[in-house]
C-alpha cells in the first residue's frame, strides 16, 4: 500500500480495468452486456466503455441487437492500441522486437554483439529502437516503452550489478544510461525473470499460477513467478540462483553452475552440443552414459524445486534439451528422487515463446500504465 | 483483481487505511498533521479520521496546539479496538490465546489433546472460544474471528486434506465444521504458514520482506512469506515441503523427513532430545559427531534454500536447537557448501513469538476487514 490517497479518477481507471479484464475473455460486448456483467448501472458501464474507447483499448466492431438503443454497438479489446519494444542483450547478439499488447510480434531485428561496452550497447539500443518505431506497421499505436533483458544481476532500481556473460564486471547505472536523452522510457530486468513473465503472459501455459524457468545458454539461471506476475526476487534481487544449489555426482558435491555450464559439460565429457542433443533425443537404451548422468543432475534440482516451490510447471531452456523425448530423460531421473503422486508431479515443459525478446516487451508493458492489460 | 467495481465507500475505506498506516508508525497525529502528511484537504483528512474513530481504531489522547481550532486534538492508533483468537492444535495439547490487533496476548488457555477426533476437536475449540470471549479483559473490543492452526496439509478452501501428527487421514471439511452454528468466523491454516505470518507481523524481525520458517516438532515442516504477507503456497497448497528435499549422508540420498524427524534421530543415534540439545549448546570441540552430522544435513538444506529463495532470514524451531550457540553449528555447516559473501549470507534466527497460537490470531485478523492493520 502506497502513501497515496485514491481519487475519483483513480476509481474510474480501476473500474475500467475491471471491464477490460472481462472484455479480454469475451469476443465482444455491448454496453448493456457490460452493465449486466459488472452489476452496475447502464450509465456507469457507458462511462467505462467510453474511457476505454478514448484510449483505443476497445473498438466498435458492429452492432448487437439492432433497434434497442443508440448504444447497442458491440465492442472488443484492441491489442493494437499500444506497442512495446523488447531487447534481449546476449553475449553474441542483440535481439529487438516490436510487439502489440497481446505479445504479437510486428517486427524483428537482430544485430551482432562483438564484446560491446555498456556505452556502445546503449547507443546500439537507442539506434535500433528509433528504427523499429519508424518502421512500425502500427504508426498510431502508442509506444509504451522499451524493456531490456540483461544476462546478469540486475537490481530492483535498475542497476546492472554484474554480468559475466557480457563481461561487465562493475556496477552500472544502466537504466539511467538508457533513459538519458530518451523520450520513451527504458526498463531493465534479468533475462530469466523477463522470460518467465513473458511465458506466463504470452506463452502456451496461459496465465498459470506458479511457473519456474530454467535456462542454460552457458551459465545456468532461473526465475520464478508466483502468481499474478509477481517475481520471487529475494533479498538484494538475488533469488533463484540455481547455479548455487548443491548437486551430488559420484559421491562428491558440486555447485550446479560448476557442473551444468555448457563449457564445463564439453570439457568434462569431451562432447559437442549437437552430440549431446542427439543423445537426449534418443530413447533410454541409446542415449548413453553422459545423458544419464546429466539427467540425474537435473533430476536432483527438479526434486528440490518441486519440494520447495511445487510449481505448476518447470520450463527448461537449454541448447541440448529440445524435444519431449529429451524431457522424458529428466522426468525419469527426477522420479528416482521424487514421490510422484498425481498431485506432486511437476510438469516439465519446453519454452513456447516465438522470440526471447518478448520478455523485454512484456516488462515494458508491465511498467506502463497499461500493465492491467497483462495483469489480472 | 476481482470482477467488482470500486465504489465511493470503498475509496473512503482504502484512504482510511492509508491514514492508519501512517498512524501506526507515528506516536500521535492531529487532523492538520494528517492533511499535511497525506497531501489532502483538511476536510478530507477529517473525514478519514472520523471514519477511523467510528471504528475505534484511533482514539483522541489529548490536544496538540491549543487554540488553533476545534479539531486540534491528537489521535493515536488503538490496537485494542478489536481482538482475535488463535488456536494451535497440536498432537498433545490445544493452545488458545486471545490477542489484540498488535499481537499482545490478553488470555492464554491450554487443554490436553488425547487423540481427539475431528468432531471432538471442534467441540473443544467451540467451548474454549466461548470461554475466552466471556473472560476477555476487553469486553468492548470487537472479536474478529478465530484462526485455527493444523499440523498438516490444509487446502486454500479450508479443508484438512490430511494430518499425520493428529492421526486424521481422511479429507475433512474442517472450516465448514467449525463454522456450523457459530457466530464468529473460523479460518484454518497449516501451522507453519500461520507461524511465519505471525513472526513477520508480531515478531522481532519486524515486517521483513522474505522470511523462511522451519519447524521440526517431530516431522519437519516449513513456510515462506515473500512480501506483504503473501505465503508461497504452490500448486494444491503444497509448497515448502522441505521434508521432500533430498539430502546426502555418507554418500547416500535420503529424504529430509526420513532423516530429521525426531523419532528417526532418536532411533538412528540412540540419543535423547535433552542430550541432543546439550550437544548443540556446546562449542564445536565438545559437541560431538551427532551434532556435526545433523548440522551438516541442515547445512545442505540451508544452502539450497538460500540459493533458491535468498530469504532475509531462516527461522529454525526445533526442540534441540534453542540457543545462538546451537545456530552457530548450522552456520558453520552451511558455510562448507555456500559462498558467504556479505550479500549472500542468510541469517539464521530462533523463533520470537511468545506463544505459537499467535499464528492463529494473525490469520484471523488477516481474514477480517481489519487485515490492513497488519498488511502494508
pLDDT tens, position by position, B15-53: 998 999 889 888 899 999 999 999 999 999 999 999 999
Answer yes or no: are the C-beta atoms of A355 and A108 closer than 8 Å.
yes
Statement to judge: residues B100 and B188 lie in one domain: yes
Q: What's the CATH code of the domain at A111?
A: 3.30.420.40
| Closest-CA distance of chain A to residue B333, Å | 13
The answer as to whether A3 is a domain residue is no
Comparing CB atoms, the residue among A18, A343, A344 nearest residue B3 is A18
Indicate if the pLDDT at residue B72 is higher than 80. Answer: no
Q: Which conformational region is residue A335 in: left (phi greater than 0), alpha (psi within -120 to 50 degrees), or beta? A: alpha
Q: Tabulate helix, strand, coil % of chain A (nearest 5).
A: 40, 25, 35
Answer yes or no: are the C-beta atoms of B226 and B328 closer than 8 Å.
no
User: How many C-beta atoms surround the C-beta of residue A20 within 10 A?
Assistant: 21
CA distances B348 to B123, B220, B222, Å, are 39, 17, 14
Statement to judge: residues B189 and B248 lie in one domain: no
Q: Which residues of B touch A308 (CB under 8 A)?
A: 239-242, 245, 304-305, 308-309
Comparing CB atoms, the residue among B6, B210, B240 nearest residue A308 is B240
Q: String of b and e for B62-87 (b: at least 16 CB within 10 Å)? A: eebeeeeeebebbbbbbbbbbbbbbb
pLDDT the model gives residue A292 = 93
The number of residues making up chain B comes to 376
Is B306's CB within 8 Å of A244's CB? yes
The rounded average pLDDT for each run of 10 residues, N- to C-terminus, in chain A (376 residues) is 82 91 86 93 94 94 62 87 97 97 96 96 97 95 96 94 94 97 96 95 80 90 86 87 92 89 89 94 88 94 93 94 95 85 75 96 95 82
Q: In whole angstroms, what is the distance from residue A361 CA to residue A99 CA?
A: 7
Q: In whole angstroms, what is the distance from residue B74 CA to residue B58 CA?
A: 10
Statement to judge: residues B196 and B208 lie in one domain: no
The answer as to whether A227 is a domain residue is yes
Q: Which domain holds residue B128?
A: 82-200+355-373
Comparing CB atoms, the residue among B1, B238, B376 nearest residue A310 is B238
Comparing CB atoms, the residue among A2, A238, A307 nearest residue B344 is A238
Q: In whole angstroms, what is the distance from residue A143 CA to residue A361 CA?
A: 11
Q: Which residues of A touch B300 (CB under 8 A)?
A: 246
Q: In whole angstroms, what is the distance from residue B367 CA to residue B376 CA?
A: 15
Residue B346 confidence class, pLDDT cut points 50, 70, 90: confident
Q: Which of B51, B299, B308 to mutate to test the interface with A (most CBs of A within 10 A)?
A: B308
The answer as to whether B1 is a domain residue is no
pLDDT the model gives residue B21 = 86
Statement to judge: residues A231 and A364 lie in one domain: no
Instruction: Give the neighbor-by-neighbor strand order of the sheet with B82-89.
Output: B105-112, B93-100, B82-89, B142-150, B186-190
| Total of domains in chain B | 3
| Closest-CA distance of chain A to residue B171, Å | 15
> Three cell numbers at B160?
484438512
- Residue whose C-alpha cell is 542497476: A159
Nearest alpha carbon to residue A353 among A189, A205, A208, A220: A205
Nearest CA in chain A to B211: A234
User: How many C-beta atoms surround the C-beta of residue A354 within 10 A?
Assistant: 15
The answer as to whether A2 is a domain residue is no
Is B244's CB within 8 Å of A39's CB? no
Q: Give the helix/strand (H/E) hosting A62.
A: strand A58-63
Q: String of b and e for B322-334 (b: at least 16 CB within 10 Å)? A: beeebbbbbbebb
φ, ψ of residue B349 to 5 degrees: the values are -135, 155
| Closest-CA distance of chain A to residue B76, Å | 18
Q: Give the helix/strand (H/E) hosting A100.
A: strand A93-100
pLDDT the model gives residue A69 = 53
pLDDT tens, position by position, B96-148: 999 999 999 999 999 999 999 999 999 999 999 999 999 999 999 999 999 99
How many CB contacts within 8 angstroms connect chain A with chain B? 154
Is B308's CB within 8 Å of A306's CB? no
Residue B71 confidence class, pLDDT cut points 50, 70, 90: low
Q: Which residues of A touch B308 (CB under 8 A)?
A: 239-242, 245, 304-305, 308-309
Statement to judge: residues B328 and B209 lie in one domain: yes
Is B338's CB within 8 Å of A251's CB? no
Is B241's CB within 8 Å of A40's CB? no
Is B244's CB within 8 Å of A2's CB? no
Is B304's CB within 8 Å of A245's CB? yes
Q: Which residues of B touch A311 (CB under 8 A)?
A: 234-235
Q: What's the CATH code of the domain at B28?
A: 1.10.10.10
Return the HEC string of chain B: CCCCCCCHHHHHHHHHHHHHHHHHHCCCEEHHHHHHHHCCCHHHHHHHHHHHHHCCCEEEEEECCCCCCCCCEEEEECHHHEEEEEEEECCCEEEEEEEECCCCEEEEEEEECCCCCHHHHHHHHHHHHHHHHHCCCCCCCEEEEEEEEECCEECCCCCEEEECCCCECCCECHHHHHHCCCCCCEEEEEHHHHHHHHHHHHCCCCCCCCEEEEECCCCCEEEEECCCCCECCCHHHCCCCHHHCEEEECCEEEEHHHHHCHHHHHHHHCCCHHHHHHHHHCCCCCCHHHHHHHHHHHHHHHHHHHHHHCCCEEEEECCCCCCHHHHHHHHHHHHHHCCCCCCCCCEEECCCCCCCCHHHHHHHHHCCCCHHHCCC
**A74 contact partners, CB below 8 Å, separation of at least 6:** A28, A29, A30, A60, A61, A62, A63, A64
The answer as to whether A251 is a domain residue is yes
ipTM of the complex as predicted? 0.91
Statement to judge: residues A192 and A222 lie in one domain: no
Nearest alpha carbon to residue B374 among B179, B182, B225: B225
Residue B207 confidence class, pLDDT cut points 50, 70, 90: low
Within 13 Å, how many C-alpha atoms sit on residue A221's CB side?
21
Q: Which of B39, B61, B77 is the last residue of a domain?
A: B77
Statement to judge: residues A14 and A144 lie in one domain: no
C-alpha A331, offset from chain centre: 24
| Closest-CA distance of chain B to residue A310, Å | 5
Residue B270 burial (10 A CB sphere; 0-12, 13-18, 19+): exposed
pLDDT tens, position by position, B303-337: 999 999 999 999 999 999 999 999 999 999 998 88
Q: Which of A25, A57, A77 is the last residue of a domain?
A: A77
Q: Which of A44, A77, A110 is the last residue of a domain?
A: A77
Statement to judge: residues A335 and A234 lie in one domain: yes
Indicate if the pLDDT at residue B237 is higher than 90. Answer: no
Statement to judge: residues A219 and A161 lie in one domain: no
Statement to judge: residues B158 and B223 lie in one domain: no
The answer as to whether A256 is a domain residue is yes
pLDDT tens, position by position, B349-358: 999 999 999 9
Statement to judge: residues B70 and B165 lie in one domain: no
The answer as to whether A73 is a domain residue is yes
Mean model confidence pLDDT for chain B: 91
Is A18's CB within 8 Å of B5's CB? yes
Answer yes or no: are the C-beta atoms of B146 and B129 closer than 8 Å.
yes
Instruction: For residues B290-301, give the mean pLDDT.
Output: 94
The answer as to whether A151 is a domain residue is yes
Statement to judge: residues A121 and A28 lie in one domain: no
Q: In whole angstroms, what is the distance from residue B150 CA to residue B88 CA?
A: 7
pLDDT the model gives residue A99 = 98
Is A238's CB within 8 Å of B310's CB? yes
pLDDT the model gives residue A70 = 55
| Closest-CA distance of chain B to residue A193, Å | 13
φ, ψ of residue B100 to 5 degrees: the values are -90, -170
Nearest alpha carbon to residue B89 among B59, B114, B64, B107: B114
Q: Which residues of A touch B10 (CB under 8 A)?
A: 11
Amino acid at each position: 500500500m502506497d502513501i497515496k490517497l485514491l481519487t475519483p479518477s483513480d476509481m474510474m481507471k480501476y473500474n475500467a480495468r475491471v471491464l477490460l479484464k472481462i472484455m479480454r475473455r469475451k469476443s465482444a460486448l455491448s454496453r448493456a452486456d457490460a452493465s449486466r456483467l459488472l452489476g452496475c448501472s447502464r450509465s456507469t458501464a457507458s462511462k467505462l466503455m467510453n474511457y476505454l474507447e478514448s484510449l483505443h483499448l476497445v473498438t466498435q466492431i458492429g452492432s448487437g441487437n439492432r433497434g434497442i438503443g443508440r448504444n447497442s454497438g458491440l465492442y472488443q479489446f484492441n491489442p493494437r492500441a499500444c506497442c512495446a519494444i523488447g531487447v534481449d542483450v546476449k553475449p553474441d547478439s542483440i535481439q529487438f522486437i516490436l510487439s502489440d499488447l497481446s505479445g504479437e510480434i510486428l517486427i524483428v531485428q537482430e544485430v551482432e554483439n562483438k564484446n560491446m561496452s555498456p556505452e556502445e550497447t546503449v547507443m546500439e539500443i537507442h539506434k535500433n529502437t528509433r528504427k523499429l518505431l519508424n518502421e512500425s506497421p502500427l504508426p498510431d499505436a502508442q509506444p509504451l516503452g522499451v524493456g531490456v533483458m540483461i544476462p546478469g544481476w540486475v537490481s530492483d532500481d535498475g542497476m546492472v550489478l554484474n554480468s559475466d556473460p557480457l563481461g561487465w564486471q562493475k556496477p552500472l547505472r544502466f537504466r539511467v544510461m538508457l533513459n538519458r536523452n530518451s523520450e520513451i522510457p527504458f526498463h531493465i530486468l534479468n533475462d530469466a525473470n523477463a522470460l518467465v513473465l513473458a511465458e506466463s503472459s504470452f506463452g502456451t501455459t496461459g496465465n498459470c499460477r506458479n511457473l519456474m524457468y530454467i535456462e542454460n545458454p552457458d551459465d545456468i539461471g532461473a526465475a520464478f513467478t508466483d502468481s499474478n506476475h509477481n517475481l520471487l526476487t529475494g533479498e538484494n534481487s538475488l533469488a533463484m540462483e540455481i547455479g548455487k544449489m548443491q548437486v551430488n555426482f559420484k559421491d562428491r558435491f558440486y555447485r550446479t553452475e560448476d557442473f551444468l555450464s555448457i563449457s564445463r559439460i564439453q570439457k568434462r565429457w569431451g562432447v559437442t552440443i549437437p552430440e549431446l542433443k542427439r543423445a537426449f533425443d534418443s530413447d533410454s537404451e541409446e542415449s548413453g552414459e553422459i545423458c544419464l548422468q546429466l539427467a540425474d543432475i537435473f533430476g536432483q534440482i527438479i526434486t528440490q524445486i518441486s519440494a520447495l516451490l511445487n510449481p505448476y510447471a518447470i520450463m527448461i531452456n537449454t541448447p541440448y534439451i529440445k524435444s519431449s523425448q529429451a524431457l522424458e530423460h529428466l522426468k525419469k531421473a527426477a522420479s528416482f528422487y521424487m514421490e510422484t503422486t498425481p498431485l506432486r508431479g511437476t510438469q516439465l515443459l519446453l519454452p513456447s515463446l516465438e522470440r526471447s525478446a518478448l520478455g523485454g516487451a512484456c516488462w515494458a508493458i508491465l511498467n506502463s500504465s497499461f500493465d492491467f492489460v497483462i495483469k489480472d
